[in-house]
Amino acid sequence: MATVLVIGASRGIGLETVKAALAAGHGVRAFARGAAAIGIDDARLEKAAGDALEAASVRGALAGADAVIQALGAARTLQSIVSGTRLFSQATRILVDAMRAQGPRRLVAVTGLGAGDSRGHGGLLYDALVFPLVLSRIYEDKDVQEQMIRASGLEWTIVRPGLLTSGPATGTARALTDPREWRAGSVSRADVARFLVREAFERRFVGQTPLVIQ
């Protein structure tokens, strides 16, 4: 049984990824500051309380893992909207350094539509209003995060979900790798989670940045 480390496991895509990995038959180490409060009881689940910004904590969480899914989330506060954040880049630097030193080599990381070369593919409303007013400063750090992962030498995949919903998994999500096909579209967190778990072990998109939408 393979073990996947999920970083940012207590909510959002991270929590859905814990559920999806267990459903797929994997062992899961759920890493988050609030890991103890994850309301799932399964013998294959290890709840590992820790901080993604503490190197020793991250190194301990990596021990024995076969793959890592990084699903960090940051609250969209007025401060982060105006001033940005360094959470994604700082946590990724710590993670990449630890993985290069001790393994594992497989990393699947979640960023979003508008990061890196996907900027400008969200459609008129998203690109002209939502992104510049709400997301641009936060995504400056996601750009740095992606650059770090690309340069890491790890076996990486960067996943950029579309507009997230809270609905159940539909099984109809698509992974688009051709920039000419990139566009805004909704996708449930549960569908993204299923994709992340599959990709961690199937390795269909190594070294690529698929956009995942319905």
**Residue 82 pLDDT > 70:** no
Tracing tokens 């989330």 back to the chain, one arrives at 73
pLDDT digits (tens, 9 = 90+) for 69-79: 999 987 666 56
- The dihedral region occupied by 47, where left means phi > 0, alpha psi between -120 and 50, and beta the remainder, is beta
pLDDT at 174: 94
**Residue 81 pLDDT > 80:** no
pLDDT at 21: 99
Q: Where are the beta strands (DSSP E) in the chain?
A: 3-7, 27-32, 45-49, 67-70, 106-110, 155-161, 163-165, 174-176, 186-188, 211-213
How is residue 202 written in tokens? 């199937």
35 three-state secondary structure: helix
Sign of the torsion formed by the C-alpha atoms of 161, 89, 73 and 34: positive
Q: What is the pTM of this model?
A: 0.94
**What distance in Å separates the CA atoms of residue 154 and residue 99, rounded to the nearest whole number?**
8
pLDDT digits (tens, 9 = 90+) for 27-39: 999 999 999 999 9
**What distance in Å separates the CA atoms of residue 46 and residue 78, rounded to the nearest whole number?**
34
**What distance in Å separates the CA atoms of residue 125 and residue 184, rounded to the nearest whole number?**
10
Cα(first)–Cα(last) distance of the chain, in Å?
30
Mean pLDDT of 150-170: 96
Mean pLDDT of 60-74: 96
Mean pLDDT of 7-27: 98
Percentage of the chain beyond pLDDT 90 is 75
- Asked if 112 contacts 160 with a C-beta cutoff of 8 angstroms, the reply is yes
User: Phi and psi at residue 18, in whole multiples of 5°?
Assistant: -55, -50
Mean pLDDT of 193-201: 99
pLDDT at 119: 79
**What distance in Å separates the CA atoms of residue 119 and residue 131, rounded to the nearest whole number?**
9
DSSP 167: P
**Residue 163 pLDDT > 70:** yes
pLDDT band at 127 (very low <50, low <70, confident <90, very high): confident
Mean pLDDT of 52-57: 98
pLDDT band at 120 (very low <50, low <70, confident <90, very high): low
Structural domain boundaries of the chain?
3-213
**Residue 137 pLDDT > 90:** no
pLDDT at 184: 80
pLDDT at 1: 85
CATH T-level fold of 3-213: Rossmann fold (3.40.50)
